[in-house]
Structure 1
Amino acid sequence: MRRAVDAAGRRGPGPRARCARPASRHRAGGRIAVTDLVRPDGRSPGRSQGRSDGRSGGYPDWRPARARSVTLRHDRVRGLDLLILPERVVVLRGAAASILALCDGERDVRAIVAELERRHPGAPVADEVPVFLDRLRHEGWLR
Structure 2
Amino acid sequence: MTSTILPNVPAIRRGFRLQFEPAQGCHVLLYPEGMIKLNDSAGEILQLIDGQRSVADIVAELEARYPDVAELGDDVQQFIEVAHAQFWIELR
Which range, TM-score by smaller chain?
0.7 to 0.9
- Secondary structure, in 3 states, of the residue corresponding to 2:4? coil
Q: Distance in 1 between matches of 2:32 and 2:18?
A: 12
1:133 corresponds to 2:80: yes
Number of aligned residues: 89
Q: Distance in 1 between matches of 2:7 and 2:74?
A: 18
TM-score of the two chains, using structure 2 as the length reference? 0.87
Q: Distance in 1 between matches of 2:36 and 2:24?
A: 14
Which has the larger strand fraction?
A: 2
Q: Which structure 2 residues correspond to residues 3-82 of structure 1 after superposition, within 5 A?
A: 56-82=2-28
Partner of 2:67: 121
TM-score of the two chains, using structure 1 as the length reference? 0.58
Partner of 1:103: 49
Regions of 4+ moved over 2 Å: none
Query: What stretches of structure 1 of length at least 5 have no aligned partner?
Result: 1-49, 51-55
| Greater relative contact order, per chain length (Cα 8 Å cut-off, separation 6+) | 2
Report the structure number with the largest CA radius of gyration: 1
Give the direction of change, closer, same or farther, for the CA distance of 1:60–1:81 in structure 2 (3 Å limit): closer
Q: Quote the offset at 1:58 in angstroms.
A: 1.2
Identity within the alignment, %: 33
What's the C-alpha RMSD, in Å, of the aligned pairs? 1.5
> Does structure 1 retain, via aligned residues, the 8 Å contact 2:10–2:51?
yes
